[in-house]
Structure 1
């Protein structure tokens, strides 16, 4: 695996800053659930049942607010939404520690509704800043950074409440959320690329029914299946180790499991092509099923999580990549918000089901139930996805930079075909990213025209390197040569026909036959795929 995809990604202006700000902004966001739970259960001494009610109220608020805030970003821009949500988070966390339980539950629901949309905004802006061919690498790196946030945020919340108390810790979380909002306001990354804005101005708004289809619903169900499997796996791991008396090693085991995801994501982001999220999430579920069969030392249990753990970051990033490619840029914020809602629903549905299995038949069976449930959801959603429409994003014109970066990805899957006349490259078969550079049939290459890597000029025609136009070409029967046609060197025009020079009339006055006999033309080998053009 090469590091070059990551190098090219981080050379794009603004992308390293966006990823860094997104990482720092997500850390306080990932600490909120743990902080609320420990505050209610331990500091207020109300138990974990009521703590669960507060976190449930917050989760419901976020599930509703995520697509709403995304839609507002699409309509009114990023800064107004960030200003309102940043102020809401600062107000809630400055007084949450002092609220009684009923008021805390209501305020948590409202704060969830007005949550800072740092997760969806980072992905939305990343899609606008990164060419299509590099988005998979970008979303994979972003998924790895999310993994780091979840490794550090909850741990810092536990350490803070233990050492400093809930008052100080929740105030620090509020300060972190406020700084995160101010940082995004200052950065103000674009939510659409210039080409996407131009396309939107020309074509107008796209109706929601054009992209919010049953196929999109199937994709969201698959997203929920991913977090269902991950949440149930985490609960099962903790319960199994607790039953075995290895509670002190739970943090390390969860950390190693997260490292598996980081490694898998790093490898996936450097691959030359991606995989279907349906295949990745179903594979993650299948590989989770046998984990419960491992007994004995907790180290063997953690090792058994390796195959499924490697697919975690790739599975989640692949869903974001598909959403960004199938939803028009004007609705990308709302779609990313729905993606976040699906993640929350999967985790929220998994917790009570996994808990019931653990209490009823044991923690080992919870791994099996989690994996099989995930596979079942994917299989149920797959028929909806197969009836999907063509991606709307395909119609969006690309900037020269995007076209250059996408040439390699397009060429890998859409090798150019050969026209009926051997040696002539059919312009319609050139990959979409190279449409502006393809030479139509019958036209010569004008001076100064830049050809992409892998295309050479042969007798006035653009053909792949290594495939020269044959010396003998015959025009189809009755085909006249259009005016202005650039004729290859070995061909002459006689009586409106394109004929080889060795068949031309030998002397003046000798009329050329109406249909000259043409020697057999040897078969031309299949045109090789156009190699990937390096990104600028």
Structure 2
């Protein structure tokens, strides 16, 4: 593993400052799930079932809205998206403490649909700041940044919610998104690399949404089927032995393993394909259930499959950014975000049903097998013809 390429990418103009800004910009979205759950279940005293409905409404909204926001970037630019998205996000989070349950339920769908998709923005910005030859390394950096955000964001959100109140945490999220959005608006980073010159009208989606890129999107679905199922099964395993307090340690081990995998993936000269990464992740999830009843063994068994997490996210982003035309990259990366959302919506209940009938080991095994099946579907799609070349010329 050679870490020198990471240094070279971070030394490119604008990369370090944007990577740092996107790290902080993604921390509030990473905390939204746990804060909304605590607010609805505890502050509003509606229970965890009602909290789950609010989270589901927001997730459905994001699944539908991310491609729309990506399309808006393609057609109107980043500032147009930020005007709509940051306004919607800040308005929701800053007024959420005043809302009753039913108002919160309806508006959570709206903020998912129209809110600022910081994950999408970060991926597209990083692809625009680096040449295609360095995108694998740059997207590895981005995936590592996401993992760090998911370590720090929920922890900070829970601290504010428990130290002060969930209302204070909601306001903190709103102010953080507003500040990050204003900074992004001021910096206005490019959305397409300077070497990519668009020639002619914007291509229609049917011209590039073909076998290989569809296969990559299917891989994204399979990845989050495995990851969402893993989380549900891990929670069930700890609850079964009365060790729920160790959940933070287990999740920390997962994130550290993913970060390590991202460093290795970005530093190797020959990287495995997205199909290989998904197949490895799914296969390595099946035996994790052997750690049921032992926190240390569970953490150790979770490490190998999570080593594939950041590399898989980076590899899928790299393929999509290369296969889609630059003028449709926002839409393509938005569809990637929707694929991640769909996978999570499938993986969590699939693991839940398996856990109810066979315990945590069944949860890990079932979603692992499901991931392997999805990898098979993606392999069949990848064998189809390449998408039509985009109307792009490379400057000298």
TM-score for the superposition, normalised by structure 2: 0.97
1:330 aligned partner: 327
Corresponding residue number in structure 2 for 1:255: 252
CA contact (8 A) 1:325 1:391 kept: no
Mapped pair 1:313 → 2:297: no
Q: Which residue of 1 aligns with 2:3?
A: 3
* Cα pair 2:212 2:387 within 8 Å, conserved: no
Whole-angstrom CA distance in 2 between matches of 1:50 and 1:390: 44
State which of 279, 302, 307 in structure 1 corresponds to 2:299: 302
| Partner deviation per Cα, 1:402-458 (whole Å, 9 max, x = no partner) | xxxxxxxxxxxxxxxxxxxxxxxxxxxxxxxxxxxxxxxxxxxxxxxxxxxxxxxxx
1:261-285 Cα shifts (integer Å, max 9, x gaps): 1111101101112221111011100
In structure 2, C-alpha distance between the alignment counterparts of 1:127 and 1:189, rounded to whole Å = 11
Give the 3-state SS of the residue equivalent to 2:38 in structure 1.
helix
**C-alpha deviations, 1:456-494, integer Å up to 9, x for none?**
xxxxxxxxxxxxxxxxxxxxxxxxxxxxxxxxxxxxxxx
Q: Is the 8 A contact 1:195 1:396 kept in 2?
A: no
Given that 1:231 and 1:350 are in contact with CA atoms closer than 8 Å, whether structure 2 keeps it comes out as yes
For residues 505-534 of structure 1, the C-alpha deviation after alignment (integer angstroms, 9 at most, x for no partner) is: xxxxxxxxxxxxxxxxxxxxxxxxxxxxxx
Q: Distance in 1 between matches of 2:160 and 2:43?
A: 13
Q: Which residue of 1 aligns with 2:101?
A: 101
* 1:349 match: 346
CA distance in 2, matches of 1:274, 1:52: 38
Aligned pair count reads 396
Distance in 1 separating the partners of 2:29 and 2:123? 16
Q: Does 1:74 align with 2:70?
A: no
Question: Equivalents in 2 of 1:100, 1:216: separation in Å?
Answer: 42
Distance 2:292 2:68 in 1: 46
Structure 1 range deviating more: 238-247 or 178-187? 238-247
What's the CA shift string for 1:37-92, capped at 9, x where partnerless?
11111111111111111111111111111000110110111101101111111111
Mapped contact 1:224–1:343 kept (Cα < 8 A): yes
CA distance in 1, matches of 2:356, 2:42: 23
Q: CA RMSD in A?
A: 1.4
Partner of 1:83: 83
Residue 242 of structure 2 corresponds to which residue in structure 1?
A: 245
Q: 2:245, 2:84 → 1: CA distance? A: 42
- The alpha-carbon deviation at position 295 of structure 1 amounts to 4.5
Q: Cα distance 1:151–1:384, how it changes in 2: closer, same or farther (>3 A)?
A: same
Q: What corresponds to 2:270 in structure 1?
A: 273
Larger Rg: 1
After alignment, is 377-386 or 68-77 more displaced?
377-386
How far did 1:294 drift?
2.9
Q: Which moved more, 1:305-314 or 1:133-142?
A: 305-314
- Aligned equivalent of 1:385: 382
Local SS of the residue matching 1:349 = helix
Offset at residue 382 of structure 1 (A)? 1.5
CA distance in 2, matches of 1:157, 1:284: 29
What's the counterpart of residue 474 of structure 1?
Answer: none
What is residue 185 of structure 2 aligned with on the other side? 185
- Residue 296 of structure 1: CA displacement? 4.5
Match runs of 1:108-123 below 5 Å: 108-123=108-123
Question: Which runs of 5 or more structure 2 residues have no equivalent in the other structure?
Answer: none
The CA deviation string for residues 286-335 of structure 1, in whole angstroms up to 9 with x for no partner, is: 01101112355310111111211111111111100000110010000000
Say whether residues 1:287 and 2:287 are aligned partners.
no
Contact 2:273-2:315 at 8 Å conserved across structures: yes
Q: Which residue of 2 aligns with 1:205?
A: 202
* Residue matched to 1:164: 164
State the alpha-carbon separation in 1 of the partners of residues 393 and 6 from structure 2: 25
Whole-Å separation in 2 of the counterparts to 1:381 and 1:311: 17
| 1:64 and 2:61 matched | no
Q: Provide structure 1 residue ranges, at least 5 long, that are not aligned to the other structure.
A: 401-536
1:369 aligns with 2:341: no
Q: Distance in 2 between matches of 1:281 and 1:314?
A: 10
Distance in 2 between residues matched to 1:119 and 1:391, nearest whole Å: 27
* Structure having the larger proportion of residues in helix: 2
> 1: distance between equivalents of 2:122 and 2:389?
22
CA–CA separation in structure 1 for the residues paired with 2:109 and 2:383: 37
| In 2: Cα distance, 1:325 partner to 1:215 partner | 11
User: Matched residue of 2:195: which SS?
Assistant: helix
Preserved CA contact (<8 Å) 1:327 1:391: no
Report if aligned partners of 1:221, 1:377 keep a CA contact under 8 Å in 2. yes
Q: Deviations over 1:19-44 (max 9, x none)?
A: 11110100001111111111111111
Give the distance between the partners of 2:315 and 2:193, measured in 1 at CA.
Answer: 21
1:29 aligned residue:
29
For normalisation by structure 1, the TM-score amounts to: 0.72
Instruction: Look up the match of 2:15.
Output: 15
The alpha-carbon deviation at position 367 of structure 1 amounts to 0.6
Contact between 1:326 and 1:391, CA under 8 Å: does it hold in 2? no
Q: Give the distance between the partners of 2:385 and 2:26, measured in 1 at CA.
A: 33
